[in-house]
Amino acid sequence: MRKAAAIALGLLLAVNVHAQDSKQESVEALLEASDADAMVDTLYSQMNQMIEGMGRQLGIKPDEQPMFDAYMNNVFTTMKEDMSWAKMKGPMIEIYSKHYSEEEVQDMLAFYQSKSGQSMVAKMPAVMADSMQVSQQLLQAFLPKVQVMAQELQVQLQNHRTKQ
């Protein structure tokens, strides 16, 4: 009886491992079809724009530009090493496998392999770039308000602390 139970458990585990491998292969195909690695390149481009904007906000002077350029090069080299698709791919497969069923992965894969899905993949970098511009504009309007709120909080805290 124990032997039969052990064999049944072994078969069950083997089927489960095969199903997981199959699902991970499907997720990998989905990430490839959705051009997920290109999204990392889009992220690099957006980060570049943000850092260049930071240079303008810092008021980098012409004689300081070489220092800022060296900083930017260092940031991007480090980002490409630490946030490469090669490092992100495994964890992304695990995340998708955790949150999506095999059926959902197959449905998404079918979409991304369709004409509309490929159109979405092709247009997504432009959509992301436009979205980033809107976010930056909203952030520029938002940050001064937060700075005022932070100054008000600082005054309130100072007043409170002097009363104690």
Q: What is the mean pLDDT of residues 79-86?
A: 86
Q: Report, as an integer, the average pLDDT of 16-45.
A: 78
CB of 109 closer than 8 Å to CB of 26: yes
Please say whether the beta carbons of 121 and 34 come within 8 A.
yes
Residue-wise burial string across 27-54, b where 16 or more C-beta atoms lie within 10 A, e elsewhere: bbebbebbbbeebbebeeebbeeeeeee
Predicted model pTM: 0.62
pLDDT average, residue stretch 79-105: 92
- In this prediction, residue 5 carries a pLDDT of 54
- Predicted pLDDT at 22: 84
**Distance separating alpha carbons of residues 115 and 121, to the nearest angstrom:** 10
Question: What is the per-residue pLDDT for 20?
Answer: 56
**pLDDT higher than 90, residue 110:** yes
pLDDT above 90: percentage of residues in the chain: 37
Q: Which residues of 73-83 are buried (b: 16+ CB within 10 A; e: fewer)?
A: eeeeeebeeee
pLDDT in tens, 114-154: 999 999 999 988 888 888 889 888 988 888 898 999 999 99
> Per-residue pLDDT averaged across 37-62, rounded?
78
Mean pLDDT of all residues in 96-121: 94
Asked if the model's pLDDT at residue 18 lies above 50, the reply is no
CA dihedral 32, 33, 37, 43 (to 10 degrees): -160
Looking at residue 10, what is its pLDDT?
Answer: 52
DSSP string, 68-109: HHHHHHHHHHHHHHHT-HHHHHHHHHHHHHHHS-HHHHHHHH
Say if residues 89 and 35 touch (Cβ distance below 8 Å).
Answer: no
pLDDT higher than 60, residue 26 = yes
